[in-house]
Chains A and B, each alone.
Chain A
Amino acid sequence: DAKTTQPTSMDCAEGRAANLPCNHSTISGNEYVYWYRQIHSQGPQYIIHGLKNNETNEMASLIITEDRKSSTLILPHATLRDTAVYYCIVRGQETSGSRLTFGEGTQLTVNP
């Protein structure tokens, strides 16, 4: 699975959009981009995933560049409860035993 690079930490004001970047320059054509988050002392929570098209759900939007080498997770109106570590993960369909390989993620802190 391709490696991802994320900033170690980010801050965001409550009510503003949080834009979390991820670089995955070695992504291959059949690999998906997944985002998870982990609130302190809880298990990771699935947010969204995509292949090449932009995706939106009730939690967030995922913007994938045309060359697929980077993506941005957007939380449109961040709240204090969005403070968490956000993981960007690239994974193929059936490779590597279907495992998710987590990096160290981005610590997002939403400030009042």
Chain B
Amino acid sequence: DTGVSQNPRHKITKRGQNVTFRCDPISEHNRLYWYRQTLGQGPEFLTYFQNEAQLEKSRLLSDRFSAERPKGSFSTLEIQRTEQGDSAMYLCASSLIANYGYTFGSGTRLTVV
């Protein structure tokens, strides 16, 4: 098991374009989380899944953002009509049991130009 994998590592897109990121969690982990981190700030919670069910969404997750986790395995985070304010590091994490530590991926850095 190589941990949580995120692709791509970097993405540069023009304002108004749609982008999609992928996260492959640790295989036996049933919880998957998305966070966003801007420069100098700690990660901010966006949403989380237990298996294929999306159980919570932050107010940060505007209607331009959508996340899926089909079949409870990998997850995708799509941003439609990107804005410059969407530029950030998007982090994925997974966990097996709520009270144990999350394992984070290395993130996808999005730059909207």
Contacts and interface: CB of A to CB of B under 8 A. Distances in A.
A94 interface: yes
The listed residue with most A CB atoms (<10 A of its CB), out of B45, B56, B95, B101, is B101
Given A44-B91, A46-B101, A93-B98, A99 B56 contact: yes
Interface in A13-68: 32, 34, 36, 41-47, 49
Interface in B75-113: 91, 93, 95, 98-107
A43 B104 contact: yes
Contacts, number: 57
A99 B42 contact: no
A32 B99 CA distance: 8
A43 B107 contact: yes
A41 B91 CA distance: 11
Interface residues of B, number: 26
B43 interface: yes
A99 B33 contact: yes
Contacts of A42: 106-107
A98 B102 CA distance: 11
A11 interface: no
A101 B40 CA distance: 15
The listed residue with most A CB atoms (<10 A of its CB), out of B40, B43, B48, B95, is B43
B45 A101 contact: yes
A97 B48 contact: yes
B44 A100 contact: no
A103 interface: yes
A46 B103 contact: yes
A89 B108 CA distance: 23
A43 to B, nearest CB: 3
B41 interface: yes
Contact of A44 (B31, B99, B104): B104
B45 A44 contact: no
A94 B98 contact: yes
5 contacts: A44-B102, A46-B102, A49-B101, A102-B35, A105-B42
Interface of A: 32, 34, 36, 41-47, 49, 85, 87, 93-94, 96-105
